[in-house]
Structure 1
Amino acid sequence: MQVRIMADYLCLAALLLAAPLTPYASQLSSSSSLRFIALGDWGGVSNPPFHTAREVATAKEIGRTVAALGADFILSLGDNFYYSGVQDVHDKRFQETFEQVFTAQSLRTVPWYVLAGNHDHSGNVSAQIAYSKVSKRWNFPNYYYTLRFKVPRSNATVAIIMIDTVTLCGNSDDFQSQQPQQPRDMELARTQLAWLRKQMAASQDDYLLVAGHYPVWSVAEHGPTHCLVKRLQPLLLKYQATAYLCGHDHNLQYLQDKAGVGYVLSGAGNFVENSRKHYRKVPEGYLRFFYAEPASLGGFAYVEIDSKQMSVTYIEASGKSLYKTSLPRRSRL
Structure 2
Amino acid sequence: MRTLLFMAIVLGVIGIVQDCSGSSSASMMKIENPPTKPDGSLSFLVVGDWGRNGEYNQSVVAQQMGRIGEELDIDMVISTGDNFYENGLNCTSDEKFVHSFSDIYTADSLNKQWYSVLGNHDYRGDVLVQLSPALRLIDPRWFCMRSFIVDADIVQIFFVDTTPFENKYWTETDHHYDWRGVAPREQYISNLLKDLDFALKTATPAAWKIVVGHHTIRSVSDHGDTIELVDQLLPILKSNDVDLYVNGHDHCLEHISSNDSRVQFLTSGGGSKAWRGVYKPTSEKLRFFYDGQGFMSVQLSQNTLKLAFYDISGDVLHDWNLTKELIIL
TM-score, normalised to structure 2's length? 0.83
Distance 1:68 1:276, change over 3 A: same
The reply on whether 1:160 has 2:157 as its aligned counterpart is: yes
Count of equivalent residues: 299
2:128 corresponds in structure 1 to: 126
Distance 1:316 1:115, change over 3 A: same
For 1:17-36, list aligned pairs within 5 A.
Answer: 21-30=29-38, 33-36=41-44
Shift of 1:143: 0.9
For 1:83-102, list aligned pairs within 5 A.
Answer: 83-102=86-105
For 1:262-301, list aligned pairs within 5 A.
Answer: 262-279=264-281, 282-284=282-284, 286-293=285-292, 298-301=293-296
The reply on whether 1:323 has 2:318 as its aligned counterpart is: yes
Shift of 1:327: 2.2
Aligned partners of 2:303 and 2:325 also within 8 Å: no
Shift of 1:21: 1.7
Q: Secondary structure at the match of 1:58?
A: helix
1:77 corresponds in structure 2 to: 80
For 1:215 and 1:139, the matched residues in 2 are separated by 22
Q: Secondary structure at the match of 2:131?
A: helix
For 2:169 and 2:229, the matched residues in 1 are separated by 13
Aligned partners of 1:207 and 1:330 also within 8 Å: no
1:3 corresponds in structure 2 to: none
Q: Secondary structure at the match of 1:263?
A: strand
Q: Which runs of 5+ in 2 are unaligned?
A: 1-18
Aligned partners of 1:159 and 1:207 also within 8 Å: yes
Shift of 1:70: 1.1
Q: Which runs of 5+ in 1 are unaligned?
A: 1-6, 45-49, 151-156
The reply on whether 1:135 has 2:139 as its aligned counterpart is: yes
For 1:220-299, list aligned pairs within 5 A.
Answer: 220-258=221-259, 259-279=261-281, 282-284=282-284, 286-293=285-292, 298-299=293-294
For 2:222 and 2:21, the matched residues in 1 are separated by 28
Q: Secondary structure at the match of 1:215?
A: coil
For 1:139 and 1:261, the matched residues in 2 are separated by 26
Q: Secondary structure at the match of 2:121?
A: helix
- Which stretch of structure 1 is more off in the superposition, 220-229 or 163-172? 163-172
Q: Secondary structure at the match of 1:290?
A: strand
1:47 corresponds in structure 2 to: none
TM-score, normalised to structure 1's length? 0.82
Shift of 1:134: 3.6
Aligned partners of 1:60 and 1:104 also within 8 Å: yes
Aligned partners of 2:302 and 2:326 also within 8 Å: no
Shift of 1:133: 4.5
Shift of 1:31: 5.8
| 1:22 aligned partner, one-letter code | K
Distance 1:158 1:54, change over 3 A: same
Shift of 1:257: 0.7
The reply on whether 1:41 has 2:49 as its aligned counterpart is: yes
Distance 1:260 1:20, change over 3 A: closer
Aligned partners of 2:20 and 2:91 also within 8 Å: no
| 2:34 aligned partner, one-letter code | S
**What percent identity do the matched residue pairs reach?**
27
Aligned partners of 2:247 and 2:269 also within 8 Å: yes
CA displacement, residues 191-211 of structure 1 (integer Å, 9 cap, x when unaligned): 111111111111134200100
Distance 1:322 1:277, change over 3 A: closer
Q: Secondary structure at the match of 1:21?
A: strand
Shift of 1:69: 1.6
1:154 corresponds in structure 2 to: none
Distance 1:167 1:63, change over 3 A: same
For 2:169 and 2:273, the matched residues in 1 are separated by 17
For 1:143 and 1:330, the matched residues in 2 are separated by 33
For 1:297-308, list aligned pairs within 5 A.
Answer: 298-308=293-303
Aligned partners of 1:84 and 1:121 also within 8 Å: yes
Distance 1:171 1:62, change over 3 A: farther
The reply on whether 1:15 has 2:17 as its aligned counterpart is: no
For 1:68 and 1:75, the matched residues in 2 are separated by 17
1:202 corresponds in structure 2 to: 202
Aligned partners of 1:168 and 1:193 also within 8 Å: no
Shift of 1:90: 1.2
Aligned partners of 1:240 and 1:330 also within 8 Å: no
For 1:299 and 1:311, the matched residues in 2 are separated by 17
- Which stretch of structure 1 is more off in the superposition, 22-31 or 123-132? 22-31
1:187 corresponds in structure 2 to: 187
| 1:112 aligned partner, one-letter code | W
Aligned partners of 1:169 and 1:189 also within 8 Å: no
Distance 1:223 1:230, change over 3 A: same
Aligned partners of 2:161 and 2:213 also within 8 Å: yes
